[in-house]
Amino acid sequence: MIKEDLAIESISTMKETVERLAMTMPVTDMHTHLFSADFGNLLLWGIDELLIYHYLISESFRWSDDQESYEAFWAMSKREQADWIWNKLFIEHSPISEAANGFITILHRLGLDVSSRNLNDYREALANRTTAQQVDEVLRISNVKHVLMTNDPFDPEERDVWLNRGGNKDSRFWAALRVDTLLNDWPNAVVQLQSLGYDAAEQWTERTKVEVRRFLSEWIVRMDALYLAVSMPGDFVYPAEDHRTRMIDEAMVPVCQEHGIPFALMIGVRRRVNPELRLAGDMSMDSDVTAVEALCRNYPTQKFLITMLARSNQHELTVLARKFRNLMVFGCWWFLHIESMVEEMTKFRLELLGTSVIPQHSDCRVFEQLIYKWEHSRRIIGQVLASKYERLYNSGWKVTEEEIKRDLDDLFNRNFWRFLGKEQPQ
Ligand code: RAT
Ligand code: ZN
């Protein structure tokens, strides 16, 4: 029996409490493409970077005609590209889409005058800030406490930071070792491994296997990587008589187990359906949830963090998480990171899994995006959770503020850290 004086007595107080806590509780953002300031230019921030976000690039081209070539866009300077996008999405049309609306949320929360619509004023307002100041300010506004990066040792600029410049020194940032090339572009991976001094060959020999394991282990240790991560095409099949299955079974899972870390798979991308859009040209596709099922069943002691890109896969994936405790469903990824999908997915996830899910990650590429991605998602997650408490309340079950905090903390932080088997850092 809860102490009567602690129970929240009215539905409206309960809703206010959930909303307030959902908006303000510190969060762990378990998948981003952000970096700490230690990584120099790899950390993107500021007005122009925000406007040339690839989500906005593809939206802008909806308004361009045949006269405006893709090449002409890519030939422009960043500032010119930003001007072009600003005109298309904010001046000539209203910024209704999630990503365009997000830019407005950012301006608003940074204290800029949204109604002026003066892009140069916004640029100037941020011009005198240092990267370190902006990182502190954005983490404060967004209440993001821990940021997981996406770390690829095959990227020469990034590798240099890890090998020669002391790596990440900011305790708010954490590494995740990204392994896409090893799984999805093996011939290229072999060349890279060889150039880094690993004795790997295109043929999957015993020696190659040992060397791939050595590469993974060394980088997990060097980065203190919290998990291994890959994004996979929708036609990923497992198990199969192919390179991916061998790589997973004989190198990646054994190394994850040796280091006691989860393996994150983000499944359902179809890369470059329009190559002219470059990074903005990727599409989603249906995936086969049975690949995840087989992984979870084959490796009951290996943890898998899974998100999928197609809306059509979401329900089945959530049901699968009821069957396997080593499966943690996370985030509303990429094209699903929009108001309506976050609401729909959060609802059925809570209905099927209670609070044993990681409802969101940001996938930010530009630092200030933390502000809008988290603000928009927190609001929806808070509303969905409140509606669940309301149903309980109507049956006489009252919650306390401490219990609301506990539940939100599970969703926003603890489910991730617990799944890792780690204490949540202070
Ligand atoms: O969300 C994105 O920005 C995508 O381009 C991808 O980076 C995706 O999130 C991924 O990690 O593969
Ligand atoms: Zn991503």
pLDDT digits (tens, 9 = 90+) for 175-205: 999 999 999 999 999 999 999 999 999 999 9
Three-class DSSP category at 358:
strand
pLDDT of residue 259: 98
Q: Output DSSP code: residue 425.
A: P
* Inside any domain, residue 83: no
- Specify the pLDDT at position 390: 98
Please state the separation of Cα 61 from the chain's center in Å: 25
Instruction: Give the pLDDT confidence of 6-54 residue by residue, as tens digits.
Output: 899 899 999 999 999 999 999 999 999 999 999 999 999 999 999 999 9
Q: Which helix (H) or strand (E) holds 83?
A: helix 78-86
For ligand 2, the distance from its centroid to the CA atom of residue 264, given in whole angstroms, is: 11
Contact between 357 and 330 under an 8 Å Cβ cutoff? The reply is yes
Residue ranges for the chain with pLDDT beneath 70: 1-4
How many Cβ atoms are within 10 Å of 218's Cβ, its own excluded?
Answer: 13
pLDDT digits (tens, 9 = 90+) for 396-419: 999 999 999 999 999 999 999 999
Report the number of distinct structural domains present in the chain.
1
E strand residue ranges, 177-248: 177-178, 228-233
Q: Is residue 140 part of a domain?
A: no
The residue segments making up the domain with residue 154 are 11-44+145-420
DSSP secondary structure code for residue 4 in this structure:
G
Tokens of 292: 């995840």
Whole-number pLDDT of residue 275: 98
Within a domain: 240? yes
| Residue ranges with strand state E in 116-162 | 144-148
Classify residue 248: in a domain, yes or no. yes
DSSP secondary structure letter of residue 420: H
Q: State which of 231, 283, 360, 369 you would mutate to test the pocket of ligand 1, scoring each by most atoms of that ligand within 8 A of its C-beta.
A: 231
b/e per residue 393-412 (b: at least 16 CB within 10 A): beeeebbbbeebeebbbbbb
Distance 105 CA to ligand 1 centre (A): 21
CATH value at residue 177 = 3.20.20.140
Domain contains 317: yes
What is the atom index within ligand 1 of the atom nearest the CA of 178?
Answer: 11
Token pair, residue 105, equals 């949320």
Cα of 300 vs centre of ligand 2, distance in Å, is 26
Strands lying side by side in the sheet with 173-174:
27-29, 144-148, 173-174
Ligand 1: residues with CB < 6 A are 33, 231, 266, 279, 334, 363, 365
Q: For residue 265, is it within any domain?
A: yes
Q: What local confidence, expressed as pLDDT, does residue 66 receive?
A: 86
Q: In the prediction, which pLDDT does 3 show? A: 67
Phi-psi region of 46 (alpha: psi -120 to 50; beta: other; left: phi over 0): left
On whether residue 231 sits in a domain, the answer given is: yes
Q: How remote is the CA of residue 39 from the centroid of ligand 2, in Å? A: 18
Q: Are 18 and 401 in contact (CB under 8 A)?
A: no
Ligand 2 centre from 362 Cα, in Å?
8
Residue 348 lies in a domain: yes
Nearest CA to ligand 1 atom 9: 363
- Closest residue CA from atom 5 of ligand 1: 279
In this prediction, what percent of the chain has a pLDDT beyond 70?
Answer: 99
Sign of CA dihedral 265, 216, 41, 28: positive
3-class SS of residue 308: strand
